[in-house]
Amino acid sequence: MQTYTVELQNKINTFSTREADYNQELIDAMQRFRSCDQALDAFIKLHGFSGNIHSIQEKVSFIKNKFKEKGEDSPRFVEEWYTEHKPFLKKTGMQICFVFDLSEEETRDFFRRICFDRAFDLHTVEDVVYLYGIRNHLKYRECADIIGQIPKLDKQRIVDMDTAIYTEEIEEEINEISSIEELKEYISYHKDIFSYNNVTAYSNIQTLWNQIAGENGLVYQEKYESYDREEIGDVPVIGRKVRKRDDHSTLSILFQILGLKGELSAKLYSERGIKRILGDNSLVHKLVAEDFPDRNSIEKILRGEHVSYGKIRKILVLLSFYVFWAGSEKDRGGDKKNRCKNRLDMILIESGYEPLYLGNPYDFMFLCSMEEEEDYMDPLENIRGYMRELNDTIILHI
């Protein structure tokens, strides 16, 4: 799998926002990312497949035989992973990890590189059982049987950090469990800890948002320095009075972070989001558009309501990146690029998420933006320039 990321790094090294054919550069970059089935090809080659990698029938047979060897039922629609390039569900990814006898570290790496997901959320019963099963070499069906014996729990609002039990504590306690009966007793006795998750991630997002949008926050400091109120403008709404833009609204702040302003910004503001520039756009990889940070998700997180893993992680990356490059860090000397990357990795890991990965198209966007930091414009402006390219592409078709 290293060859893949080396190729992407080489692409980053030659990428430039100053090129005349910048849009074509973006399109070329988007086409370099592997689909889930292509990543799975690399995985099965590392784990015993010696047939024709271009033969769907041979690959499907190899995967199904692996399940049969382990006495497990093969997932449905294996063929469609290849014929329709459909990604598989997390549950299916976990089944694959079990039948290929992956270690805990290998399982985490599988989910990071192939599923763009975290392997274990220890505030869910299923993942606690899966982690115990991986560590103790259980079969997948044994884990499924354990999970089936435990009543379903509804997720509540995110609890206060002072009363939360953290993932590290749960993992330490799982380390002490020596039997399946102990595991079931632990889950039954501690069922309250499985009614919430993402406490640290939500707390970090709240802290970042306060830095950005709190009193004298970064967006207001930046507005005074470089954002012209007239250029942003109010929003005409057909059939109604002009809607006055609320500079303190989540949407206005998100637009400023992304550098969206001018004519299309007004259209997007009236639509309450940026789906217009993300959908069906050759400059945007579908995995970038999927779960892209939006007003609704940010507001739900700030209220302690549940949103998807993908949205939380992408919001963490975007807000952390903005705080770094819009704040005082941009004025410090030294290797700012690596300092920023380390900062983002740290907050992701602390929040229970996977660090930046070059093969993830969303992460690639931010890593790529930092390559020209020393020689040309700052990375935040590079991200904003990319968003403006998306704007311009859509404007041409309006």
151 vs 397, which has greater pLDDT?
151
Per-residue pLDDT at 269:
64
Per-residue pLDDT at 171:
86
Q: Is the pLDDT of residue 173 over 50?
A: yes
273-297 b/e (C-beta count within 10 Å ≥ 16 → b): bbebbbeebebbbebbbbbbbbbeb
pTM of the model: 0.83
Return contacts of 206-211, CB within 8 angstroms, 24+ apart: 206/301, 206/302, 208/316, 208/319, 208/320, 208/323, 209/298, 209/302, 209/319, 211/323, 211/327
Which amino acid is it at 38?
A: Q
Residue 193 DSSP symbol: G
377 vs 115, which has greater pLDDT?
115
Q: How confident is the model at residue 238 (pLDDT cuts 50, 70, 90)?
A: very low
Q: What is the per-residue pLDDT across 57-80, written as a single tens digit (0 to 9) for each?
A: 999 999 999 999 999 999 988 999
Q: What is the per-residue pLDDT across 89-130, written as a single tens digit (0 to 9) for each?
A: 899 999 999 999 999 999 999 999 899 899 999 888 999 999
Mean pLDDT of 367-379: 71
Per-residue pLDDT at 231:
46
Per-residue pLDDT at 397:
45
Q: Is the pLDDT of residue 273 over 90?
A: no
Mean pLDDT of 268-297: 80
Per-residue pLDDT at 141:
96
Q: Is the pLDDT of residue 209 over 60?
A: yes
